[in-house]
């Protein structure tokens, strides 16, 4: 049970790891690597950053503009590193940067914040996302003392929705036709996870993994 008299803060962004995945506090030094990964076509499409898959493919080939310049991106990450209502990590495994995970939009009074994760191609389909989410959620609920973590995920990203649900996130509503992609409207789903749900799930998982005393 968190101390409800304390004020949660995301000013302290520690390095987190589980022996396989390492999350490092992101700053301006990581802008070149993350900027390159952001050109991944699937990242562009699944995060709703483009309105056509053709545009995403052109960005991946370097034939179209993809967001801020490297200099501006470095400034953005430097600013985020100084924020107290946002915590940003690079997601790394085997010495390679694979993507980014962050807690954002901290609401101290309601002990709540948002969550966002994206992984480029080399980071997908190998359990990296689940590990990164587990590390950040444990930090959010146990160390920071948050009560709720929420996120939004587009309907055309069922893989991410499945991962979030497996970790305990509950579908709370739908923003209908929130994204226009390739001429079709895509819904955006709102999901949330509460501290007691997370701790109960972790306790059940630990109990199932514990050796029998019989």
Which pTM does this prediction carry?
A: 0.92
DSSP alpha helix (H) spans, 14-167: 31-37, 41-46, 53-60, 70-82, 128-138, 158-166
Range with the poorest average pLDDT among 30-39, 108-117, 165-174, 192-201: 30-39
pLDDT band at 211 (very low <50, low <70, confident <90, very high): very low
CATH topology of domain 20-205: Aminopeptidase (3.40.630)
Would the pLDDT of 209 be above 60? no
Mean pLDDT of 61-86: 88
Q: What is the pLDDT of residue 206?
A: 77
Collapsed DSSP state (helix, strand, coil) of residue 56: helix
Q: Cβ–Cβ contacts within 10 Å for residue 126, how many?
A: 14
pLDDT, the chain, mean: 93
Going from N- to C-terminal start, the domains of the chain cover: 20-205
Mean pLDDT of 117-138: 94
Residue with the two structure tokens 């630990």: 206
């Amino acid at each position: 049970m968190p101390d409800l008299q304390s004020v949660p803060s995301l000013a302290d962004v520690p390095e987190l790891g589980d022996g396989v995945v390492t999350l490092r506090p992101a700053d301006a030094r990581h802008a070149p690597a993350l900027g390159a990964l952001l050109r991944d076509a699937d990242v562009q499409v699944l995060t709703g950053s483009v309105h056509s898959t053709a545009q995403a493919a052109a960005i991946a080939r370097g034939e179209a503009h993809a967001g801020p310049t490297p200099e501006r991106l470095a400034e953005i990450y430097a600013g985020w590193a100084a924020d107290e209502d946002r915590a940003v990590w690079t997601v790394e495994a085997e010495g390679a940067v694979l993507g980014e995970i962050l807690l954002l939009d901290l609401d101290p009074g309601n002990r709540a914040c948002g969550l966002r994760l994206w992984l480029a191609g080399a980071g997908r389909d190998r359990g990296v996302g689940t590990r990164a989410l587990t590390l950040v959620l444990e930090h959010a609920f146990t160390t920071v003392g948050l009560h709720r973590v929420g996120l939004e995920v587009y309907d055309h990203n069922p893989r991410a929705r499945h991962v979030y649900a497996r970790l305990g996130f509950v579908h709370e509503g739908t923003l209908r036709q929130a994204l226009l992609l390739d001429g079709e409207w895509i819904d955006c789903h709102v999901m949330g996870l509460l501290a007691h749900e997370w701790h109960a799930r972790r306790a059940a998982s630990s109990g199932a993994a514990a050796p029998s005393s019989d």
